[in-house]
Structure 1
Amino acid sequence: MKKMNKAEIQLLHNSIQAAEIEAKQKLSEAQLVWLRASDKNLDELPPQKETYELMQCSFKCIAVEMLLRVLGQPTLKQTTRASLLALSAKETQLNYPLTFENDKEKDILKSIAALLDSIPTPETLTSGSIDKSVHMIAKAAQYLPKIPIVPKEETPTAAAVAVAKDKGKEVAVNVRLQAGFAPIAPNLTPFDLSVMQAAASIYASGSKTFSTNQLYRVLTGADAHTKITSKATLEAVKKSLDTLQATIITIDAEQQAALGKYRRYDWNKTTFKGYLLPMTKIETAYYSGNQRITKCDCWRIIDTPPLLAYSKTIKQVATIPQKVKCLPKGVSATVKNICIRDTLLYYIHLNRGKGVKLNYSTLFEAAGADTSNRDTCYKMRKVTRALLKYWQEIGFMPGETDVITGAKKDIIYIS
């Protein structure tokens, strides 16, 4: 295994420091849940499920503590990730001997290994992508740009998003958006949703630390060897991350959870609340030998994004090959084109197999594009057709899916 250089050691250290926030918070929450469960049954044994969760959270805290202790040692220059795991195990045995005596060392080692696996190498940060992307197709996700972000000092009004019908009445989830701190944008944009999808895809792949450059590649479908072609899009990504990190979402899905077809799902909770991207910013750097070349903006996701947790609960997450996100030849990596691609993917997943007709105007408006300019609409139609053709060529869509060339030439048929 490759020896770690200064850049990798710094990346590991900063990422684990950020992970410490999550570990301590989860432990505190687990302790509270355990105490409540124990108080309900004072004459019985400790609650089994809550005790197990508390122990797992404890192991994660130990893993963070031991890794930080080992990474702080001055004799770490020639080590690898495998030897770092072994050194952490020794430290754990010295500092927590009772844990090892109780045959819990495997759980702690799993926690240490999982934490290390969640942190990519510096090479991945600069050029890495992922194999599969997740696409949250819950209706609440697509509705978010229509909901105002309320300033932190105000109480947000819930927006009712209809998700089903029960006995002729609409069943809705109530969604609120609020600024966690200022300054903040008045609304989310379709591009913010695309950036959130890309970050959630990295998180779902097992990596919780990512760089802005890596996110750009996941967002545009570029591979490790593709250069970043749009500085404007990269800047838009950075701006979007700041908005997503500062915006709190609350999804109240109690009505939906009570419906028959949703009742069988694994509802651990019916209210999903937190920052759209619960993460913290960390800084690392690229080195040549011991010479610092440039800094690298990185982020560490410290909890499951609420919208991803909700979408997974109701089984409305589509997993697609990352090559589907690639922009075909002739389609540049602009904010507008990325929004058209992801909005089109949403409608395709929502209506696949139903033989639905989609108006161009509906697609473009949902993508946040200005439909009043003829030249702009013409260019967006070309982009849409190029995407459909590319997806048919790679086998993502059946050949029957096509553009109906009627009098207005504004209808897409989704077979």
Structure 2
Amino acid sequence: MKKMNKAEIQLLHNSIQAEAIEAMQKISEADSVWRCAYEKAPDELPPQEETEKLALLHHDFMTALTLLAVLEKTMPRNSTRESLLILSYEMFKLTCPNTFERFGCEDILKSVATLLDSIPTPEMLTAGSIDKSVHMIAKAAQYLPKIPIVPKEETPTAATVTVAKDKGKEVNINVGLHAAFAPIVPRLTVFDLSVMQAAASIYASGSKTFSTNQLYRVLTGADAHTRITSKATLEAVRKSLDTLQATIITIDAEQQAALGKYRRYDWNETTFKGYLLPMTKIETAYYSGNQLTAKCDCWRIIDTPPLLAYSKTIKQVATIPQKVKRLPRGVSATVNNICIRDTLLYYIQLNRDKGAKLNYSTLFEAAGVDTSDRISRHRMRKAVKALLQHWQEIGFIADQTDVIESSKNDTIYIS
């Protein structure tokens, strides 16, 4: 059991504080719904589902509040996360006897441990990566860069995205992007989608707190010992996070939910709305590693990203080993190369077991890269070939994959 230093205690405190604030807001919203139901029928009990939801949210809030109270006290020397778990359990039992009696010993311990596990150690923030990445392959994800982000002063409009056909008629979802606060970019980029995929992958791995450096590693597929090679890409990551945090997405999938093949899925809701990355920036965390003191920017994801929730509902989320995201030798960690890699992954996963066929112009347009001059076009093609060769070598795609080149058409066949 490794003892916690001041840096880790600060990181835990700031992360749990963000969690407590968000939990309080959710309680307020659920309480309003509960009271509204009670006022409509004062002689009847509000729906059991709403009552249970309110109780669970209160439980989550008290868990965060208890951990926060323990951390704000003077921690004993040589404290570990395990001892923090015990101290929190004892305080919960003392300060919330009714909740403790209702949920029981094991459940309280589990909820406290889950919250602690969602916060990585300072070392993981600077050097840690993940084993598997999630890749949202829903059509709505690829369509996002085509949708204008409406300024916060204007009424949001929705774009129609056709997702299927039923008896000859198109089945559509409506997707809108709205700026929560200004200033905001006019549209998302493919790189923004890549950053969102990387953050969603960290969230799906069980960790809700992450650093910009850690996100860079997940985004580029770098392991814990690979140094950050592109300051320009790291800065692009920071700007993208600001955009994703400030943009609200609304997905109305009512038509899709009513379609036969989708009806059997778990539709807890048919409208998915929220920030593209619902997160808050926590204070800069200081950490100690190899006897050196440094700092890193940290974020706390406070809810499931709406696009991830939608993609999971319609079962269009691919799980990809992190080694597949690793950029091979000769392919530098530039914004363009990352966009090309993730666009290729989209086509591969979308056509898994069927084979994909596309040409360079289609690929580069979908990736949003500029290949107007011969030098950049040659560089991008070289990156594509290196990625395909790398994926063949590690067994991610079949070795029959080929690129047929001619003066008129360059076609990529992916088995």
**The TM-score by the shorter chain falls in which range?**
over 0.9
For the aligned residue pairs, the C-alpha RMSD in angstroms reads 1.9
Paired residue type of 1:60: D
1:27/1:330 Cα in 2 relative to 1: closer, same or farther (>3 Å)? same
Instruction: Work out whether 1:279 is the aligned partner of 2:267.
Output: no
Asked if 2 retains the 8 angstrom alpha-carbon contact of 1:120 and 1:209, the reply is yes
1:358 is matched with 358
1:124 is matched with 124
Aligned length: 414
| Distance apart, 1:35 and its partner CA | 4.5
Asked if 2 retains the 8 angstrom alpha-carbon contact of 1:286 and 1:292, the reply is no
Name whichever of 46-55 and 312-321 sits farther off: 46-55
Name whichever of 97-106 and 222-231 sits farther off: 97-106
Asked if 1 retains the 8 angstrom alpha-carbon contact of 2:347 and 2:356, the reply is no
Partner Cα distance (2:96, 2:307) in 1: 38
2:296 is matched with 296
2:209 is matched with 209
Partner Cα distance (2:103, 2:365) in 1: 59
Asked if 2 retains the 8 angstrom alpha-carbon contact of 1:283 and 1:295, the reply is no
1:36/1:106 Cα in 2 relative to 1: closer, same or farther (>3 Å)? farther
Asked if 1 retains the 8 angstrom alpha-carbon contact of 2:397 and 2:414, the reply is no
Paired residue type of 1:377: R
| Distance apart, 1:49 and its partner CA | 3.4
| Distance apart, 1:26 and its partner CA | 2.4
| Distance apart, 1:359 and its partner CA | 1.1
Asked if 1 retains the 8 angstrom alpha-carbon contact of 2:147 and 2:176, the reply is yes
Instruction: Work out whether 1:18 is the aligned partner of 2:9.
Output: no
Which digits, 9 at most, give the CA deviation of each residue in 1:343-385, with x for residues without a partner? 0100111122223320110000111111321221111111111
2:188 is matched with 188
Asked if 1 retains the 8 angstrom alpha-carbon contact of 2:123 and 2:287, the reply is no
Name whichever of 277-286 and 153-162 sits farther off: 277-286
Asked if 2 retains the 8 angstrom alpha-carbon contact of 1:117 and 1:206, the reply is yes
- Secondary structure of residue in 2 paired with 1:140: helix
Instruction: Normalising by structure 2, report the TM-score.
Output: 0.95
Paired residue type of 2:343: T
2:380 is matched with 380
1:326 is matched with 326
Paired residue type of 2:209: T
Partner Cα distance (1:170, 1:101) in 2: 53
- Secondary structure of residue in 2 paired with 1:15: helix
- Secondary structure of residue in 2 paired with 1:195: helix
1:52/1:353 Cα in 2 relative to 1: closer, same or farther (>3 Å)? same
Q: How do 1:230-309 and structure 2 match up within 5 A?
A: 230-288=230-288, 293-309=293-309
Which digits, 9 at most, give the CA deviation of each residue in 1:267-307, with x for residues without a partner? 11111111100100012333459x99333210000111111
Name whichever of 23-32 and 12-21 sits farther off: 23-32
1:194/1:287 Cα in 2 relative to 1: closer, same or farther (>3 Å)? closer
Q: How do 1:5-404 and structure 2 match up within 5 A?
A: 5-35=5-35, 47-102=47-102, 104-288=104-288, 293-404=293-404
Paired residue type of 1:236: A
Partner Cα distance (1:288, 1:219) in 2: 24
- Secondary structure of residue in 2 paired with 1:19: helix
Paired residue type of 2:71: L
Partner Cα distance (1:42, 1:248) in 2: 36
Asked if 2 retains the 8 angstrom alpha-carbon contact of 1:402 and 1:413, the reply is yes
Partner Cα distance (1:216, 1:111) in 2: 30
Which digits, 9 at most, give the CA deviation of each residue in 1:54-111, with x for residues without a partner? 2221211111110010001113442111110110111111111223334533322222
Which digits, 9 at most, give the CA deviation of each residue in 1:3-49, with x for residues without a partner? 00000000000000111122112223333444566678777766443
| Distance apart, 1:235 and its partner CA | 0.4
Paired residue type of 2:144: L
Asked if 1 retains the 8 angstrom alpha-carbon contact of 2:135 and 2:197, the reply is yes
- Percent identity of equivalent pairs: 76
Asked if 2 retains the 8 angstrom alpha-carbon contact of 1:283 and 1:296, the reply is no
Which digits, 9 at most, give the CA deviation of each residue in 1:123-161, with x for residues without a partner? 000100000000000001001111111110001221101
| Distance apart, 1:213 and its partner CA | 0.2
Name whichever of 318-327 and 162-171 sits farther off: 162-171
Paired residue type of 2:28: S
- Secondary structure of residue in 1 paired with 2:149: coil
1:35/1:292 Cα in 2 relative to 1: closer, same or farther (>3 Å)? farther
Which digits, 9 at most, give the CA deviation of each residue in 1:287-344, with x for residues without a partner? 459x993332100001111111111111100001000000001000000000000001
| Distance apart, 1:168 and its partner CA | 1.2
Asked if 2 retains the 8 angstrom alpha-carbon contact of 1:353 and 1:414, the reply is no
Instruction: Normalising by structure 1, report the TM-score.
Output: 0.95
Partner Cα distance (1:103, 1:188) in 2: 44
Name whichever of 179-188 and 16-25 sits farther off: 16-25
For structure 1, the residue ranges without an aligned partner over 5 or more in a row are: none
